[in-house]
Chains A and B, each alone.
Chain A
Amino acid sequence: AAGVIQSPRHLIKEKRETATLKCYPIPRHDTVYWYQQGPGQDPQFLISFYEKMQSDKGSIPDRFSAQQFSDYHSELNMSSLELGDSALYFCASSRAVGQGSLDTQYFGPGTRLTVL
């Protein structure tokens, strides 16, 4: 079965540089979520999109922005990178199944970002 695809898998950047992470959801999934997992920590929700519209926002820095495109893939743009942005960034996707119900989020393999 097709899974969530994330690219790149590894990324090394210098401080103050920019980075773009890409996520391709499972086919027919219309909802995308981004999470950040620091070393030894649990994943923290950043932002989500449903049908190309932002649906929820978590602890995402103002230096970060994201969008979902017409083909449902999503990109997370990170500017003015700081050392503390070094983390594993996960994308997850799910299907919207209607009010009062929820489909399972399936995660991609993650992008490991290292800021030097």
Chain B
Amino acid sequence: AQKVTQAQTEISVVEKEDVTLDCVYETRDTTYYLFWYKQPPSGELVFLIRRNSFDEQNEISGRYSWNFQKSTSSFNFTITASQVVDSAVYFCALSGGNTGTASKLTFGTGTRLQVTL
């Protein structure tokens, strides 16, 4: 069974601070995919980033960066110079890739990020 753990339930930061959201996962699949989604107060789920299990290269995309470490089963997400518009619930999600098609997402319980002025 797959499992995603987001130990941080809520984080509060002041604008322009950097913030890292933690994610730890469990899976028996040899190929899998990790995602971060953002859910702002309006309720929609917005795709942010994706990482394949066979690619541990960490990248930066604008103010977003991520640290994928297979050895510790972690997929942490960092927002640099946070802004008030970043306030949302952030979900880490896992999908197995062995079946190829239509693989469901298993979500963590989410981390609520509050960015204040």
Residues on A lying within 8 angstroms of B by beta carbon are 31, 33, 35, 41-45, 48-50, 55-56, 58, 88, 90, 92, 94, 96-102, 104-110, 112
Contact = CB atoms under 8 A, between A and B. Distances in A.
B47 to A, nearest CB: 6
A42 B110 contact: yes
Given A42-B110, A96-B100, A105 B43 contact: no
B97 A109 contact: no
Contact of B102 (A33, A35, A100, A110): A33
Contacts of B45: 43, 90, 92, 107, 110
B102 A48 contact: yes
Q: Which 4 A-B pairs have the closest CB atoms?
A: A55-B102, A99-B100, A107-B45, A42-B107
B33 interface: yes
Contacts of A35: 105
Interface in B92-114: 95, 97-98, 100-110
Interface residues of B, number: 25
A49 B102 contact: yes
B100 A56 contact: no
Contacts, number: 76
A110 B95 CA distance: 21
A42 to B, nearest CB: 4
A45 B102 contact: no
B107 A43 contact: yes
